[in-house]
Structure 1
């Protein structure tokens, strides 16, 4: 199966739009508290076990802001210029983010993390496959 580079770039751009929406709330100190409160509300509404992020924990907020702002910038770059190389790099990042989420779940994080993990893995497969097929490869490996 072959996919055109233009179609693969549309997938890269769509994944970037998703990332921008999913990550914007983590990017700034004054938005992350509301985002953490939303996650806590979902956690409580579904009666889940495990830990949720603490908006009063300075390092938790700092690293949420650092990660969120980096993802926002990276998303804008991919929306502006959705190249196959950026799509391949983003697919690798998605696998790394997914590994971190799986580790967090294994360490007692709230299953609310699944709301981020499932789309992350889905985009890794969809985008990675599109980039590989548009590049004429069966995998993203060189």
Structure 2
């Protein structure tokens, strides 16, 4: 089992919840074929207006993948809003690192530069959710504090 010290600051859980609200607002429109068509049209219009490039023409496979991503992210966001835990911040930070990597890959292969707007937010939320875990692990080695398993509930840590 990997043992890491969870960030204990109430501010950390506010960050976890804020990133969840961002995800919910930004991805809710991707969750259904009907709302995705509206989001697709809006993003394409903005991309053309700002000189960043439009999205490719809408097709059933693109819509399917957008709906799958939107549905999963909406559910993940609701979990972090309703019951934010430090481990949710760690996992979300890891997920954001992956999203950042795939967005950067798409950008280097000709995707619309609109992605830069999303990539910036992914990096920011990823850093503020992951760095406290890294910092706690670093300080734990220095001062010898006992680590809390990443799957532990915060109340379990109080009894240790």
> Per the alignment, do residues 34 and 124 of structure 1 end up closer, same or farther by CA in structure 2, a change over 3 Å counting?
same
What is the TM-score with the length of structure 1 in the denominator? 0.86
Q: Count matched residues.
A: 134
2:92 aligns with 90
Q: Confirm or deny that 1:7 pairs with 2:11.
A: yes
How far apart are residue 131 of structure 1 and its match?
4.4
**Which ranges of 4 or more aligned residues in structure 1 deviate by more than 3 Å?**
130-133
2:121 aligns with 119
Q: Confirm or deny that 1:33 pairs with 2:37.
A: yes
Q: CA RMSD in A?
A: 1.9
Distance 1:82 1:130 in 2: 15
Distance 1:53 1:76 in 2: 29
Q: Which moved more, 1:93-102 or 1:4-13?
A: 4-13
Q: Which protein shows a greater Rg?
A: 2
Match of 2:101 among 96, 99, 102: 99
Q: What stretches of structure 2 of length at least 5 have no aligned partner?
A: 1-6, 140-149, 151-160
